[in-house]
Copies of this chain bind each other. A is one copy, B any other.
Amino acid sequence: MNSYSSHLLEELVTEFGKLPGIGRRTAVRLALHLLKQDVSRADKLGNAIINLRNGVKYCKRCHNISDNDICFICCDHKRNSAIICVVEDIRDVMAIENTGQFRGIYHVLGGIISPMDGIGPGEINVDSLVLRVENEEVEEVILALPATTEGDTTGFYIFKRLSDKVRSVSVISRGVAIGDELEFADEITLGKSIINRIPYIKS
């Protein structure tokens, strides 16, 4: 049964409903919300979607999302281009940038090795990483990949490909999250955090 009295409304609800985590009820709420806004607000959102998908580029060096051929992180001369942080996707770049703790540059794999999903080493940007390590002055490659089997597999594969080409390959630390009670940490994480304990530096 069709309860929409407007095809334009139905069309938008259908399209909103295809987005992840947005059910029909939320889609209707969003569409009706837009109806109450100024035309310019709706136009801005609509055009932002169209412009992003049509205008987006990926940095030719690090594969991060960018408005230009080379992203603003790679272009920034104040950043240390001798340290490359390898991440799964651009969301991870944003997350690490938000910490404000990293001043090197990135390499976005665009996925991780996952035989279950049919993603092998050839499907992700590893070759271009090897080329960068061979041709740029790289001192350290930091692997900031998911703490999963796939992440570990990908990390180990990259380590094998790079180990004789770069001085240092490191992995971000895993352990009990800041603010977490020990009793709520899972056993594997807690075990890892004991094995990888860090000595206090005597002052």
Task: Name the distance in Å between A185's Cβ and chain B's nearest Cβ.
Answer: 23
Given A20-B29, A52-B31, do A73 and B5 touch, yes or no (CB 8 Å)? yes
Cβ of B91 and Cβ of A32 under 8 Å apart?
yes
Beta-carbon contacts of A41-61 to B below 8 Å, as 1s and 0s?
Answer: 111111111111111110100
Q: Which of A11-19, A145-153, A161-169, A186-194 contacts B (4 or more CB under 8 A)?
A: A11-19
Task: Pick 26 A–B contacts, CB within 8 A, sort by A.
Answer: A1-B100, A3-B93, A3-B94, A5-B64, A5-B73, A6-B52, A6-B56, A6-B71, A8-B51, A8-B55, A8-B56, A9-B52, A12-B45, A12-B51, A15-B45, A16-B45, A18-B45, A20-B33, A21-B29, A22-B30, A35-B56, A37-B53, A46-B46, A46-B47, A46-B50, A49-B49
Interface residues of A (CB under 8 A from B): 1, 3-9, 11-12, 14-16, 18-22, 26, 28-35, 37, 39, 41-57, 59, 64-67, 71-73, 89-91, 93-95, 97-98, 100
Given known contacts A5-B71, A20-B30, A34-B53, what 8 new A-B pairs fall within 8 Å (CB)?
A6-B56, A6-B57, A6-B66, A12-B51, A18-B45, A19-B45, A42-B50, A46-B47
